[in-house]
Structure 1
Amino acid sequence: MVRSINWRVTAFTVVFFIVFVHLGFWQLDREDEKVALLEANAEAMARPPVGLAELEARDIGDLQNAGSRVVLYGRWENRWVLLDNRILKGRAGYEVLQLFRDATIEQPVLINRGYVPAGPHRLAAVDILFDASVTPGLVSIIGIPRFSREAERSWLGSETMSNGVSLIQLADAEQIGQVLSEPLYPVLIRLDEKDPMALPRHWPVTVMAPEMHRGYAVQWFLMAFAIVVMWGVFTWQQWRPQDEPRASS
């Protein structure tokens, strides 16, 4: 009996083999990108911080990706907003975006101090842990600029908590400035975790470690190998000789 290859099964196998292999190499490329990002961040953290004037003269994208630090000298203001829908260790809460008046610029700067847990209900007042008497004069703080793309999303407005603090959904300095009725510096700064004013936080450089991308790549390559094996088994079963029926005596 003349047997032919099942072209539908073969085409299916070829297409998904190519897809799985492509996804595997894509994950390897992502691993290389994450390694480069972590190395650049480590190098940037080892360099001394720059002032806001030098920050404005640099390339924004390079600063964000490299994690370069900035230093500010001024005083904290007793004003802040809360960034909604933040999670830390499985508990819902907010991030505190407090105003800092740097001595070198006119606009106040939004400083992300970190996380505070939510109260018993969504708009309940929360303890911000800020005492103006502790830092009455000029202080120096260090942080990492955060050039968020959140401003490209639709502004959802703000809500007012029981103590009068504004609760916002997006970390957009321009929109927050409208809420506070004062123009703000366009870049948000994440406060260094060693600063006395720092609150708990979880801000990893990358959401996914490079090793995880490598693991996903291995999975895609194994799936490509598996689909070829299944095609081979199917084809062999179609081509193997079948026992001829015995004639009855």
Structure 2
Amino acid sequence: MLEVKVSLKRIVIFVVIPILLIFLVRLGMWQLHRAEQGASIYEQFDRETQLPALDSSSLNGHLDDVRFRWIELQGKYLSSRQFLLDSMTYEGQAGYHVLTPFAVNDGVSWVLVNRGWVLADPDRRVLPEVSVSEIPRVIRGMAESLPQPGLSLSTPMNLMPWPQVVLFPSFEELEIRFEQSLIPYQLLLDSNLPDGFSREWKPRALPPERHIGYAIQWFSFAGVLAFMVIALWARSRTRLNDEIGR
């Protein structure tokens, strides 16, 4: 029976705990890697938003070429066909992002303009008033991708009247609903322009400081565990020496 207890103790000390230590250290390293990625995104955001605005000729490019760049377009909103992007939060409150199609003056291009965040009614059957004038205008927005869920679920889009509530749609799904091709990214409407809602645009990535904080936590857990292992090892060595000295 004693041999079984000793064997289990050895398994814990020499197998389980080292594996756990490696796991905690790898989590810390992963968070540091995420911090580097986040810092790169925030640096790109600060750099690109300071550049002069692009015009409609940039719409044919890939998002990677224009992400976080301001783009100025002439055209008009299509108020009768709007989407409410669900599960968006602002200052801790649940609501929607209002996605309004904008027909560019070239007569071909449609781009989704995110006009900002609106509060959701406690009764989700009651939708916010988001209509906008369809007069010709010039808008300015920042190029960005649509938000994506942590877990992608395939859910068919319903055919409810406009504005339609959607949850993490793809551009392909939106194009089917519009029966119209779209520029494959959204424009985040400049907060200085009218006909928008709450707008405080920033990268969706966590600030690097948060990831560094998480990394310190994981490394701290690993350090505490390593200290416990050393203490147990020293204690067992002391007992062994005492038994030998008897």
Q: TM-score, normalised by structure 2?
A: 0.80
- Contact kept, 8 Å, 1:113 with 1:197, in 2: the verdict is yes
CA pair 84-156 structure 1, distance change in 2 beyond 3 A: farther
Counterpart CA distance in 1 for 2:34 and 2:139 is 34
Q: Which runs of 4+ in 1 moved over 6 A?
A: none
- Contact kept, 8 Å, 2:191 with 2:200, in 1: the verdict is no
CA pair 230-204 structure 1, distance change in 2 beyond 3 A: same
Pairing 1:61–2:64 present: yes
Counterpart CA distance in 2 for 1:35 and 1:184 is 31
Letter in 2 for 1:85: S
Which secondary structure does the structure 2 equivalent of 1:46 belong to? coil
User: Which of 35, 39, 48 is the matching residue for 2:39?
Assistant: 35
Which secondary structure does the structure 2 equivalent of 1:204 belong to? coil
Counterpart CA distance in 2 for 1:150 and 1:18 is 31
Report the alpha carbon displacement of residue 156 of structure 1 after superposing the two structures with TM: 2.6
Deviations 1:148-187 (A, max 9, x none): 37597524312536xx532222343332233234443333
Counterpart CA distance in 1 for 2:148 and 2:207 is 23
- Contact kept, 8 Å, 1:86 with 1:115, in 2: the verdict is yes
What's the counterpart of residue 3 of structure 2?
Answer: none
Counterpart CA distance in 1 for 2:146 and 2:102 is 19
1:1-249 matches, within 5 Å, as: 7-8=10-11, 9-57=13-61, 59-64=62-67, 67-79=68-80, 80-128=82-130, 130=132, 132=133, 136=135, 138-148=136-146, 150=148, 154-158=154-158, 160=160, 164-201=162-199, 203-241=201-239
Counterpart CA distance in 2 for 1:158 and 1:184 is 19
Counterpart CA distance in 1 for 2:148 and 2:109 is 21
Counterpart CA distance in 1 for 2:59 and 2:129 is 32
The CA RMSD measured in Å over matched residues stands at: 2.9
Structure 2 stretches lacking a partner, 5+ long? 1-5
- Contact kept, 8 Å, 1:156 with 1:169, in 2: the verdict is no
Counterpart CA distance in 1 for 2:227 and 2:183 is 59
- Contact kept, 8 Å, 1:75 with 1:102, in 2: the verdict is yes
CA pair 74-233 structure 1, distance change in 2 beyond 3 A: same
Which secondary structure does the structure 2 equivalent of 1:86 belong to? strand
Report the alpha carbon displacement of residue 234 of structure 1 after superposing the two structures with TM: 1.0
Give the structure with higher Rg (CA). Answer: 1
CA pair 12-153 structure 1, distance change in 2 beyond 3 A: closer
Counterpart CA distance in 1 for 2:172 and 2:15 is 54
Report the alpha carbon displacement of residue 200 of structure 1 after superposing the two structures with TM: 0.6
Aligned length: 232
Q: Percent identity?
A: 25
Counterpart CA distance in 1 for 2:44 and 2:194 is 27
Which secondary structure does the structure 2 equivalent of 1:230 belong to? helix
Counterpart CA distance in 1 for 2:18 and 2:114 is 51
